[in-house]
Amino acid sequence: MSTIIYVGLGSNEGDREAHLVAALTALSRIDAVAVLRCSSLFDSAPVGPPQPRYLNAVVALDCDLSPQRLLVILQQIEKDLGRRREQHWGPRTIDLDILFCEGQVVADPHLQVPHLELHKRRFALEPLAELSPALLHPVLGMTVKELLGKLAPQDVRRSEATAWPEASLPSNET
């Protein structure tokens, strides 16, 4: 059964946009996954220890895999693209997080969906709202647009893309 899954992408080491594009290319090569839409790029201040700024985006995937199986593949993509897990919330070439699985809640030791910190993070909600503002958080009972409206200002701004695909907005959601 196919599910729409939203994946957050982030990078703050080296050529940030190139890392995001490489991750998007890897996602598009997964047999049971189709990339439906990509948000714009957003530049944001880091969470955690002092480090370079992040470049973030969200992609909507049509996925025939379980969220747990997709997570294993995402972690392999991170590893293949040079991600090192040396410091919690430390700098990284690429970070891939499952933010939402439409209509599902996943709570197991290795995966929490919706992402536990999503409602606090403008760098994830801004691009997610661009793709699906009416998406309902199944635990909090609020739409992505409503969650974004409740957030205090954070240092997040849209960023110009050179190689990243232009944001593609669904025609029925604004």
d(CA 51, CA 91): 6
Residues catalogued as catalytic: 83, 92, 95, 97
pLDDT value for 22? 95
The stretch 15-42 carries a mean pLDDT of: 95
The residue-averaged pLDDT of 66-75 equals 94
Helix (H) / strand (E) element for 28: namely: helix 16-28
Residue 150's φ and ψ, nearest 5 degrees, are -85, -15
Helix (H, G, I), strand (E, B) or coil at 57: strand
Q: Are 157 and 165 in contact (CB under 8 A)?
A: no
Between CA 43 and CA 63 the distance in angstroms is 27
Q: What percent of the chain has pLDDT over 90?
A: 74
The 10s digit of each residue's pLDDT in 150-171 is 998 899 999 998 999 865 544 4
The third-level CATH classification (topology) of the domain covering 3-159 is: Alpha-Beta Plaits (3.30.70)
